[in-house]
């Protein structure tokens, strides 16, 4: 059974994942900024208040998180371990297209990586990329650092990092994925969507966190 505490903990963790507060998460989802405030989580008579299914659906749509992500954050053994950090390898998104930074399996490799502290994550191969420029506005801004999970399961609507065999690296939203083809949607509508045969893709990894 999912508890009241677990639901609110998941919302707090999702806000943290996106570098914002519960109030900021509500605004991101198009809700009243006070929707997820601590004062809204219980009545004066002690009766517990739950977020509505509509507000949860809006939060998942705004953040790109799946229901499975939310359930994982709600559980005591969720993917993000509260109050713990660990160093993860970091390079710039533009650098990631150069040779020597990833092995044949798509995991970070080589000595050119820096390290930064990110919330501890269950994927031991997780890495971070630093965004440069405005091509990914309004989702990611210049200087944002995204945490990427090579082991994360991919679903339509996920935010992902894809690398082509020609060396191009891009952060996009996954529109469609089959055994033969992939379609990627640009965050910034001034830039075109992209599609590739899967044979042209070296790897595609899920973005699981952003530090803003």
pLDDT at 82: 53
Structural domain boundaries in the chain: 4-74, 84-211
Of 128, 19, 122, the C-alpha closest to 63 is 19
Could you tell me the pLDDT band of residue 57, with boundaries at 50, 70 and 90?
A: very high
Q: What is the distance of C-alpha 101 from the center of its chain? A: 21
The domain over range 84-211 is classified in CATH as 3.30.43.10: no
Between residues 196 and 94, which one has the greater pLDDT? 196
Measured in degrees and rounded to the nearest 5, phi and psi for residue 74 equal -75, -25
Q: For 135-153, write each residue's pLDDT tens digit.
A: 998 888 899 999 999 987 8
> For residue 64, is it left (φ>0), alpha (ψ between -120 and 50) or beta?
left
104 Cβ contact partners less than 8 Å away, ≥ 6 residues apart: none
Work out the average pLDDT over 113-130: 85
| pLDDT > 90 fraction of the chain, expressed in percent and rounded | 46
Q: pTM higher than 0.75, yes or no? A: no
Residues in the chain: 212
The kind and range of the H/E element at 24 are helix 22-28
Could you tell me the pLDDT band of residue 106, with boundaries at 50, 70 and 90?
A: very high
Q: For 62-87, write each residue's pLDDT tens digit.
A: 888 788 778 877 775 455 555 567 89
Evaluate whether 4-74 and 84-211 have a shared fold.
Answer: no
- Hey, is 11 helix, strand or coil? helix
Report the top-level CATH class of 4-74.
Answer: mainly alpha
Could you tell me the pLDDT band of residue 17, with boundaries at 50, 70 and 90?
A: confident
């Amino acid at each position: 059974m999912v508890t009241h505490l677990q639901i609110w903990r998941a919302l707090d963790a999702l806000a943290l994942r996106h570098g914002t507060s519960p109030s900021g998460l509500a605004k991101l989802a198009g809700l009243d900024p006070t929707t997820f405030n601590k004062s809204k989580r219980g009545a004066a008579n002690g009766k517990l208040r739950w977020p509505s299914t509509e507000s949860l659906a809006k939060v998942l749509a705004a953040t790109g998180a799946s229901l499975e992500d939310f359930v994982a954050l709600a559980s005591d053994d969720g993917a993000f371990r509260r109050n713990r950090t660990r160093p993860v390898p970091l390079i710039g998104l533009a650098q990631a297209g150069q040779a020597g930074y990833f092995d044949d399996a798509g995991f970070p490799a080589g000595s050119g990586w820096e390290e930064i502290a990110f919330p501890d994550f269950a994927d031991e191969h997780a890495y971070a990329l630093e965004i440069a420029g405005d091509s990914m506005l309004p989702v990611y801004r210049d200087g944002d650092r995204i945490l990427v999970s090579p082991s994360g399961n991919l679903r339509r609507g996920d935010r992902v990092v894809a690398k082509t065999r020609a060396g191009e690296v891009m952060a996009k939203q996954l529109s469609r994925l089959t055994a033969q083809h992939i379609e990627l949607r640009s965050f910034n509508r001034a830039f075109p969507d992209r599609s590739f045969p899967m044979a042209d893709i070296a790897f595609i990894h899920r973005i699981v966190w952003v530090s803003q």
